[in-house]
Amino acid sequence: MNQAERIHLFDNWARNYDASLASSNADFPFDGYEQILDRVVSLAEVKPAMHILELGVGTGNLARRFMEKGCEVCGVDFSTEMLAQTRAKLPQMQLVQADLFGNWPLELERPYERVVSAYVFHEFELKAKIKLLQRLASRYISHARRIIIADISFPTVAIRVQASERWAENWDKDEYYWAADESMAALERTGLQAHYEQISSCGGIYILQPGTRADTVRREMRGSRG
């Protein structure tokens, strides 16, 4: 699927996106959706007035959680209609239309205290995922201190294969669902340290922090559970 087709798909999906989430919240691909978004906010450990950058804001479900905590959120999406849905829900929020792999507008040049994303990166193959994470780390991580990516993900490649058979009817062969074992290995090869949490049967969270060994990140994340 090319970029124009993807934009068309998400523009058409925008009005029914939240309804489709509600109808499949206990099954693939959105099993544990609400729990996963809540965990992103918990891991972010935000304070009021923090500036948050959200990549692929969609209809604003994650952004709303941060705004309820008093954060200022800038949401980025490539879909005009998705941004329209968010604007209707959260009219005070800053929204930017941009392609994450294109030239970034000036609004994204400022430092952010957290960078987050939910259910976006599975649109990209692994090499593209890593490339984008490197770009984010080089631009934001020294100030943000934490990049948190939630998505459709499985602990291992083998479990992903099993899942593709289990959910064959709903499995999208044009999407690139994460497998933590291969993804963590790819991140390590680039020098990016990360921690992974499996939250539901098909959803997990990747946490990147600067200059921190993976074992240290794990201890910090366990501590954040409170």
Structure token digits, residue 62 = 């994650």
Q: What does DSSP say about strands 194-198 and 203-208: parallel, antiparallel, or unpaired?
A: antiparallel
The pair of structure tokens assigned to 80 is 């005009």
Identify the sign of the CA torsion 17, 21, 24, 30.
positive
In this structure, what token pair is assigned to residue 129? 């995922």
Single pTM value for the model: 0.89
Task: Encode the chain (226 residues) as per-residue pLDDT tens digits.
Answer: 677 777 777 778 778 888 887 766 578 999 999 999 999 999 999 999 999 999 999 999 999 999 999 999 999 999 999 999 999 999 999 999 999 999 999 989 899 999 999 999 999 999 999 999 999 999 999 998 899 999 999 999 999 999 999 999 999 999 999 999 999 999 999 999 899 999 999 999 999 987 644 444 444 445 545 4
Using a 10 angstrom Cβ sphere, with 0-12 exposed, 13-18 middle and 19 or more buried, the burial of residue 152 is buried
Beta-strand ranges (E) seen in 56-157 are 72-77, 94-97, 114-118, 147-154
141 in Cβ contact with 166 (< 8 Å): no
Domains by residue range for the chain, with CATH:
3-224 (3.40.50.150)
